[in-house]
């Protein structure tokens, strides 16, 4: 399996080229085909959230992203705002936005060993922004894309489980899971 060394299967933590990375099951829709892929987040990047005191983001990663990305309802492409990323002045055109409405939210309070379950916020959907791995395939084989940001946002009134004003936010919807 691409030379990944398992560190902790429960946390989806592996080592690729001596670098700890979380590998998360997700879906991709390309060439009119849906496929299951692995999305990655470097352990050092998740640690930055913890170092900044953003335990809620760490709790969300382990509770909503890690186990929920595979259940994506919609995939949108391309942010409609300028974004410089990876040396590209049009980095906004490299983003894929995965959305769904989980039934629960989670909060990780200081001193607790795991996140606590709460009701999901009303009229909200969960968004995960991903960039396809085009620049580092040699270094991180099998990593289809990079998980960059995740958060709750307001839900669109016309398209369930989509962000509010999604048609103005993104260049298009490329996939919707039926049912």
* pLDDT of the residue at 117: 93
90's tokens: 């049009």
Q: What is residue 135's predicted lDDT score, i.e. its pLDDT?
A: 86
The pLDDT score that the predictor gives to residue 1 is: 55
Smallest CA-to-CA distance from 14 within 141, 150, 148 is with 141
pLDDT in tens, the chain (179 residues): 567 888 888 889 999 988 999 999 999 999 999 999 999 999 999 999 989 988 889 999 999 999 999 999 999 998 766 555 666 555 556 789 999 999 999 988 878 888 899 999 999 999 999 999 988 999 999 999 999 999 999 999 999 999 999 999 899 999 999 87
pLDDT at 58: 92
What pLDDT is recorded for position 147? 97
Among 163, 147, 136, which residue's Cα sits nearest to residue 70? 147
Please give the Cα distance from 29 to 39 (Å, whole number).
13
- Determine the pLDDT at residue 78: 82
- Sign for the CA dihedral angle at 46, 49, 52, 53 comes to negative
Q: Are 114 and 108 in contact (CB under 8 A)?
A: yes
Q: What is the pLDDT of residue 9?
A: 81
Lookup result for tokens 């946002």: 153
> What gap in Å lies between CA 1 and CA 3, rounded to an integer?
6
Other residues' Cβ atoms within 10 Å of the Cβ of residue 98: 27
């Amino acid at each position: 399996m691409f030379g990944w060394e398992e560190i902790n299967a429960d946390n989806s933590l592996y080592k690729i080229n001596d670098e700890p990375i979380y590998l998360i099951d997700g879906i991709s829709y390309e060439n009119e085909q849906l496929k299951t892929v692995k999305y990655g987040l470097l352990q050092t990047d998740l640690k930055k959230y913890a170092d900044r005191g953003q335990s809620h983001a760490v709790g969300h990663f382990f509770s909503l992203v890690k186990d929920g990305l595979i259940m994506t309802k919609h995939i949108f492409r391309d942010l409609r705002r300028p974004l410089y990323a990876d040396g590209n002045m049009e980095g906004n055109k490299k983003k894929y936005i995965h959305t769904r409405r989980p039934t629960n939210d989670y909060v990780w309070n200081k001193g607790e060993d795991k996140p606590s379950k709460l009701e999901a916020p009303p009229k909200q959907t969960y968004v995960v922004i991903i960039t396809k791995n085009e620049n580092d395939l040699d270094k991180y084989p099998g990593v289809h894309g990079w998980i960059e940001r995740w958060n709750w946002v307001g839900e669109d009134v016309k398209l369930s489980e989509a962000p509010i004003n999604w048609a103005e936010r993104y260049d298009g919807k490329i996939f919707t899971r039926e049912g």
